[in-house]
Structure 1
Amino acid sequence: MKAETALFAGVSLFFAVSAFVYGWFSAEPAGTAALVVSCLMSALIAFFLRHRHRKDGLLPKDRKDAPVHEAAGPVAFFPPRSAFPVLAAAGTALLGLGAVYGLWLFLIGIGVLVPGVLGFVFQYGARETQSVRMTGVEVED
């Protein structure tokens, strides 16, 4: 994660310099604000990656002498079908239409969007305990 940290720190520095120069030579505050927010967002990512690097140590891709098999492992978790993306999209569409047609439709959109977002967040919260139950492997405390 060293390379990623340096990359996002460089992006943050670029946006900081750009924001300073743009704010100095222009009279328009919106562009300066956008550049400052971009600087802060990339700095947040760089901070997170640096924190993970300190906590996890060197990854195999950070070492030149690391063999390929050290980086092997589970690729990712690929979830099965879910209705929550459709629910969240429908809620977002209703929010947009509610902004045009009235408060009543906006409130219905919130009522549809909130369960969709909560479903996204909590859908796989107990995934590890379910996989232990399905494989029959007992974990002792």
Structure 2
Amino acid sequence: MKGEAWLFTATALFFGVTTAVYAWLSQEPAGSAALCVSFVMSSLVAAYLWRQYRRGGERPEDRGEAEVREADGRRLYFPARSYFPVLAAAGSALIGLGVVQGLWLCLIGFGVLLPGVLGFAFQNLDRPDTA
């Protein structure tokens, strides 16, 4: 987590400096607002990653001399076959098309997306080691 936290911290600092310079040199509020939102979003991700690093400590991925066998088994489980990614992708595509074509298609997209997201969240409840 430490490497990812440093990466997003550097990204947030970059967007912060770029926002300040852009707002000072240009008179365009849209670009300044977009850069400011990018700064806030990368700062939130960096704060979350630093918090997780402090909570969980160092992972094997954070050390250069770590062995593959040191990995935590819970993080390595992936379901063999799942249709929930297809549902989530189809629902997202229908929502995107619904924004352009009409509200009815957007509502259908939300109806398709909801089972996909819920399936992602609850597909491993029968495995006690993945909770």
Answer yes or no: same fold by TM over 0.5.
yes
* Distance verdict in 2 for CA 1:106–1:53, change over 3 Å: closer
* Distance verdict in 2 for CA 1:32–1:68, change over 3 Å: same
Structure of higher CA gyration radius? 1
TM-score scaled by structure 2?
Answer: 0.76
| SS of equivalent residue, structure 1 residue 116 | helix
1:50 is matched with 50
Contact preservation (8 Å) 2:60, 2:71: no
- The reply on whether 1:34 has 2:34 as its aligned counterpart is yes
CA apart distance, 1:105: 2.6
Q: How does 1:45-84 map to 2 (within 5 A)?
A: 45-60=45-60, 62=62, 68=67, 71-74=70-73, 76-84=76-84
* Distance verdict in 2 for CA 1:104–1:14, change over 3 Å: closer
* Distance verdict in 2 for CA 1:11–1:116, change over 3 Å: same
The unaligned stretches of length 5 or more in structure 2 are none
CA apart distance, 1:67: 5.5
**Cα deviation code 1:68-88 (max 9, x no counterpart):** 377344361121211212222
CA apart distance, 1:114: 1.5
TM-score scaled by structure 1?
Answer: 0.72
**2: distance between equivalents of 1:125 and 1:60?**
26
1:136 is matched with none
**1: distance between equivalents of 2:59 and 2:82?**
33
**Cα deviation code 1:85-127 (max 9, x no counterpart):** 2222222233233334433332222222212222122222342
**2: distance between equivalents of 1:100 and 1:62?**
44
1:8 is matched with 8
Q: How many residues are paired up?
A: 129
Q: Which deviates the most, 116-125 or 51-60? A: 51-60
2:121 is matched with 121
Q: Which deviates the most, 83-92 or 25-34? A: 83-92
Aligned sequence identity (%):
54
